[in-house]
Structure formats: structure tokens, C-alpha cells
Amino acid sequence: MPLVTLKEVLQPALAQGYAVAGMVTLGWEDMRAFVAAAEAENSPLILQAGPSCREHTPLPILGKMFRHLAENASVPIVAHLDHGYTFEDCQKALDAGFTSLMFDGSRKPLTQNIEETARVAELAHAAGISCEGEIGFVGYDGGETSNGTDPKEAAKFALRSNVDAMAISVGNVHLQQRQSGGLDEQRIAEIDAATNVPLVIHGGSGVPADQRRKLVKTTSICKFNIGTELRQAFGTALRQAVNCDPNRFDRIQILKETHDPTVAAARMVLRTMKG
């Protein structure tokens, strides 16, 4: 089926109490496995191209890859730019056929973040696609420290930026290799009470599966970005495929062996989105 927008998958999720996985892709092998998993679970899926993916593969190529997968899939697929840091990043993704733009102004002062995000939202909506923004900085495991989302600032951001989804910082951290003690549910409740926009959790790999299930049923969180736990599954399978026979050199033969384990890991993620 054709690519769909972020709004088209998140609004039903918000209304019906489930979430949609934003799966962070790095290449053809993992994005293909993610779509296979989504079809097996009969779940919509957001394929995400983040900065490291875009550094490796140009946006126009990624757009064609996402579109090809969507057109041959039995479930709705979103082509999502993850962490676009400039208006130009977002324009390039739009030109490449993406159906959702995430502008990340979370390191900037509130007023500047609102103004720049609103400009991207206007760009997206004029083209008939969606925009995600971020208020409160989500840090990195072993790197930059998070700056938690202030509920009052979140209310201003949601109202003035005109985004279709809002990423928040509530104890989540990018690149966590193990599930942590969980998110700040009190802060989530305060943000939820102050806004009416679908909420997004970046760094979802660090959120315990049971808490994911709970939050999708009880809050406006309806998108979890999942990258690290899927990369771990892919990397483990790849390492095993390489190490099992040191004389093998055909990359296609080796990469084929990553497919089933990555599909299995992605299916487990998708089940946590159903609440």
C-alpha cells in the first residue's frame, strides 16, 4: 500500500490506546526485516532515517527504499525523517518523498525551538505530510545529559508549533543497551494534562516492556522510537553468521542470516506497542 503520514497512524493509536513503533533503520537488511515483522503482527510501522543512516545512504535513495517497501506491504508504512536538525534537512527529506519530518530543536531556547519547528510544520502541512517536534532534550547513554521536559513549556510548544506529534524528555535516554528503571510517570501525567497532541518517546529501547504496555493504554504516548535493541539483535546475528565459517566471504549469504533474528526481535517490540 502507499506510504502514509505520521498523523494517519498516530491518531487511530491515540484514540484506541496503542502505540506505533518508530524503528530506526540503518540499511536495507534491517528495514526489510522490520516490514516483515509488521506484516506478521498486522501492525502499522514507522521507518526512521536518523543522522547516522543518512550519513551512510543519501536521502533520495532512502526515500525510494521506503516507498518500495511500503508499496509492497500489507500494512501502513510511514517514511520518517528522524532528528532533522535544520530546515534544509527537512526540505531534502520532503523532496525525497518522506511522509513525516521530525525537526529537532530541543537544544535551542524555547522561543527559537517553537519558531523553527512551526516553520517545518508549515512546510510539511503544505505538502500534505506530518511533522514531529521535540521539547526537552533527550540525552545519550554515556554522553550528553538530558534536560527534562517542563509541562508548562510543553503546553506552549504544542499550541504554537502546530506539530502532529511531540517528543518529550521524561527519563528516556538514547542508545541504552539495557532497559532502565523506567520513565517518570508523574511528569508524563502532567504533560498529558497540559497538552492534547500525541506524545513520542525517543530512546525507547531503555524503557521496560511492561511500562511501554502500561503507558500506551493510560497516556497519550503513541510512538516509541526503537533502535538499540534492534541493532543488538542484528549485530548478534551478523557476528554469528561471520564467525560460524571463517572461509565465507559472500556478503549476501552472510547478511541473509540476519533476517530471521531481526524479524523476531522486531515482532517482540511490536507486541509491546499493543498494550
82 catalytic per annotation: yes
Amino acid identity of residue 192, one-letter, is D
Q: How far, in Å, CA of 10 to CA of 104, rounded?
A: 19
Instruction: Give the rounded distance of the alpha carbon of 20 from its chain centre.
Output: 9
Instruction: Give the rounded distance of the alpha carbon of 238 from its chain centre.
Output: 23
- Supply 54's cell numbers: 543518512
Say which DSSP state 4 is in. B
- β-strand 45-49 against 20-25: which pairing, if any? parallel
Say which DSSP state 181 is in. S
Contact in structure between 146 and 169 (CB atoms under 8 Å): yes
> For 198, left (φ over 0), alpha (ψ -120 to 50), or beta?
beta
Q: Name the catalytic one among 30, 82, 89, 104.
A: 82
Which of helix, strand or coil describes residue 240?
A: helix
Q: How far, in Å, CA of 112 to CA of 209, rounded?
A: 35
Give the active site residues. 82
